[in-house]
Amino acid sequence: MSTHTPALQALDHHDDAEQLAQQAREAADEAQVGWEQFERLIAEDMRVEPRDWMPADYRKTLVRQISQHAHSEIIGMQPEGNWITRAPSLKRKAVLMAKVQDEAGHGLYLYSAAETLGTPRDEVLDQLYSGRAKYSSIFNYPARTWADVGAIGWLVDGAAITNQVPLCRASYGPYGRAMVRICKEESFHQRQGWEILYALSHGTEAQKQMAQDAVNRTYGPALQMFGPPDDESPNSQQSMAWNIKRFSNDELRQRFVDMIVPQAEALGLTLPDPDLKWNEERGHYDYGALDWDEFFAVIKGEGPLNHQRLAHYRRARDEGAWVREAAAAYAAKQAQRRSAEETLLSA
């Protein structure tokens, strides 16, 4: 109970109100300074770091993009992981194991980058576990033959590099830096895929046919990895204004097509697109329409393997729970021991 007289109480309230107003003014000033600093960083094409002030939408966009990217790396281990035990030689097996392991590493760098934005790892992993998260639709297609491992490396990792090289300059520091290392590994992945297809296309007629079949099935979905056409990609423009994305979906897709046409010729394989031809005027290859109905159906969960991919992920996460629990218990015990030692030393 206050011992102040009503007059003094009124004065107290006045002081409180004044203090609150002052705090609100200071917070607004801080946001204004933060906003100006953010705008300057973007205008001067510099990095935004985790402790810098950033608009809520910028943070949200990054968490969405980085976590979807991380999920794609993790789910993307499955189609090729299925082939590790069936790789045709010890050398191929060792290379494929290293490649799949790299993808796990990519997922981990990216989950760490998402954590620097204040989103706990468990939260984004739960989104994947519950089926609410999106990941690249290409990984919902099966890898039917060994040649698919080649086609995935050449076309899927090839599309990933085309998409990711500009992301090395993304305005958010931890994302851009993670991408530098990822791109180095992706370029090894693409070469190993190309080399698998080269060996097959220069082997027996049946092997060449197997390579061609894998390319036929992977080409369309690989071109769709860049996302919908520019006029149907509402978030792209904002991402470009924030220097997260540097080129539009269609620009990147064109760059990819221009890159793979001569590579397919060197492989002795054809790309399954009758409309594919050099356009002298544009200085680029023209290519045919893509099946966007299929793309959106796969995104919605109706691809050939959506259920299987998610079920496998859930099983692996459940079966690995005891490892995470044991590691956490061990870390807690070590921390407790350290603090007990420190108390003893300071006593």
Q: Which is nearer to Fe ion, 189 or 217 (CB)?
A: 189
Q: Least distance in Å: CB of 185 to Fe ion?
A: 6
Q: Least distance in Å: CB of 265 to Fe ion?
A: 24
Q: Which is nearer to Fe ion, 71 or 189 (CB)?
A: 189
Q: Would you give the distance in Å from CA 78 to the centre of its chain? A: 16
Q: Least distance in Å: CB of 129 to Fe ion?
A: 21
Q: In 246-343, where do the E strands start and end?
A: 277-279, 284-286
Q: Which is nearer to Fe ion, 109 or 146 (CB)?
A: 109
Contact positions toward Fe ion, by CB under 5 A?
A: 73, 103, 106, 157, 186, 189
Distance in angstroms (rounded) separating the CA atoms of residues 80 and 257:
23
Residue 202 CB contacts under 8 Å (≥ 6 apart), including other chains: 208, 268
Among residues 137, 63, 122, 174, the alpha carbon closest in space to that of 290 is found at 137
For residue 48, the 8-state DSSP code is: B
Tokens of 229: 């056409």
Q: Least distance in Å: CB of 189 to Fe ion?
A: 4
For residue 340, which amino acid is it?
A: A
Q: Least distance in Å: CB of 252 to Fe ion?
A: 16
CB-hemisphere CA count at 13 Å for 245? Answer: 23
In contact, 221 and 155? CB cutoff 8 Å? no
Using alpha carbons, list the distances in angstroms from residue 136 to 28, 57, 67, 163, 347. Answer: 40, 22, 11, 12, 56
Q: Least distance in Å: CB of 186 to Fe ion?
A: 5
Distance in angstroms (rounded) separating the CA atoms of residues 50 and 116:
6
